[in-house]
Amino acid sequence: MIQVYGREDVTCVEGKVVRSGRKEGTVYAFLVDGMLIDTGPKCLEADLIPFYEDNLIDLVTLTHSHEDHTGTASWIQENRNVPIYMHDKGISICAQPCSYPKYRQISWGVRNAFKALPLGDTIQSRSQEWKVIYTPGHADDHISLIHEETGRLFTGDLFLAPKTKVIMNSESIPLIMNSIRMLLSYDFGSIFCSHAGYIQDGKGMMKQKLNYLENLCGEVKNLHQEGLSIAEINKKLFQKKYPIIAVSEGEWDSLHIVTSIISDEKLTIAKR
């Protein structure tokens, strides 16, 4: 089911994935100045179609290729005939039928293939120019969008929460930190996160997340220098085992946080 409401001239489309009466996840799409940012997952397509039919959409910009952000892009392409843009690293991924694990197909639905166009350094909506900022870490094709005149920033999956407890095995904490630092160099206020929604004190929350990750990196590196193994560091710092670890068969795990930090440390030492 979806809820639709406005924040700072942005239409927020909040989608809740519910199974057997239990909420399994929340994901957002945003419509601003005729531009749809992300399209939600395939499993919400029936709920999203009436919104797409009732609103004018000039173009679609995708923050990255993950299926909870691109799941209904094929319907839009087939039925609304508007251009869809994304980072060029994601175009070939989305041109193919879903290639992601079964548990994600069950959670978000099976994404159909669609054709996307490459983003440039900026993208023009109906009356506003948006700066495209490459922000890898969560995904290799991840971008953020900022309207510098109003300070509105769309962050895809870069923020999510102030404290990171699990990540996918393809993610990199050091890259995420670099991307956050990149965003913090801009003058922005609110952020629109694809899972946390509208956050008024966006810059403050981004700083809070970066501080947490910097402190976490320091702890991991200190423990590693003391001779603890990756598994021992993970057990010491992340005692809670979240259900997603078992459900994903390890694709999501706190262990990947530790691994990505230590891998970066080894790479840094090797370059000296």
The pLDDT, as a whole number, for residue 109 is 95
Q: What pLDDT does residue 272 have?
A: 43
In a domain, 254, yes or no: no
Based on the structure, what is the number of domains in the chain?
1
**Per-residue model confidence as pLDDT tens digits over 3-42:** 999 999 999 999 999 876 777 799 999 999 999 999 999 9
pLDDT for residue 115: 98
Residue 270 lies in a domain: no
Q: What pLDDT was estimated at residue 247?
A: 93
Domain contains 243: no
Give the predicted TM-score (pTM) of the model. 0.95
pLDDT (average), residues 190-206: 97
Residue 272 in domain: no
d(CA 57, CA 30): 11
Instruction: Please indicate, yes or no, if residue 230 is contained in any of the structural domains.
Output: no
Quote the Cα angle for 155-241-248, to 5°: 65
Structure tokens at 233: 């560091």
Q: Amino acid identity of 95?
A: A
In-domain check, residue 53: yes
- Domain assignment present for 84: yes
Contacts of 56 (CB under 8 A, 6+ apart): 34
State the Cα–Cα distance between residues 15 and 259, nearest whole angstrom.
32
Q: How much is the mean pLDDT over the chain? A: 95
The CATH number for 55's domain is: 3.60.15.10
232 within a domain of the structure (yes/no): no
Domain residues for 143? Answer: 2-203
Query: Measured between alpha carbons, how far is residue 201 from residues 128, 133, 152, 166, 230 in Å?
Result: 23, 20, 11, 24, 35
Is the pLDDT at 234 greater than 60, yes or no?
A: yes
